[in-house]
Amino acid sequence: MLGLTACASKSLLSDVVSAVLVESSPFQADVPLEVKLNPNYQYLRVTLDGAKHALLVLGYVDAHPQGDIEVWYSAQGEVLRLQNGRLVGATGLPVEWRRVVYSQTPPAWQAVPLEGARFSSVRDEQPGYRSGLVEQVVLTPLPQAPLELPNQTHATAVWFQERYANAMGLTRPDAWFAFGNYGTQKTIVYSRQCLSSNVCLSLQRWPLQKDSL
């Protein structure tokens, strides 16, 4: 963690550029496994629509009663906000989420009941200035991995699925989350989440570590 706060982030973008030692556009053909990284930063490997890749750097963490929100930056200024591994904000992408609010705090990943859990969310998004979009969320633990992880090391993660719907039916593709060990943390080490029906992201803690998955 950088230990930065929102009010002290004027030089954050230059810090991010220097932290990621890759001279390229933000989303490129791939992020090489051997890329040299500044060990003082935390990284997230992001794949957009299954084809373009980028490394994002953790800028700062906002305290929130439903779980701290991690704010991740690319070298070109794209920003993702993650709360307990879930996307709750995105800017600089074809679809932007400006605000996400949960009706109740989703259960901690370690405490999801076998029968699953239900809750709802409300978000504002662009383009189109769409506000107050309500989704019902069904969270379900999975007995086995639903997909093969890219660059997988050890398959020790516990998997979950989230399905989204409103009064009109299914709203977005299902999301998958892999909860496991990363360093000394227990966290979401990999997820696939969609901002819309056709804008999907895969998020993976980076660099790979032994027993991280």
For tokens 């009064």, what's the residue?
A: 167
Cβ neighbour number for residue 163 with a 10 Å cutoff: 17
pTM recorded for the entire structure: 0.84
Torsion angles phi and psi, residue 39, rounded to 5: -70, -5
Question: 6-206 has which fold?
Answer: YmcC-like fold (2.40.360)
pLDDT tens-place values along the chain, 213 residues long: 333 333 334 455 555 555 443 433 444 445 555 567 888 889 999 998 766 788 899 999 999 999 999 999 988 888 999 999 999 999 999 999 999 999 999 999 999 999 999 999 999 999 988 999 999 999 999 988 887 765 555 467 899 999 999 888 888 999 999 999 998 889 999 999 999 999 999 999 998 876 554
Q: How many residues does the chain have?
A: 213
Domain extents for the chain? Answer: 6-206
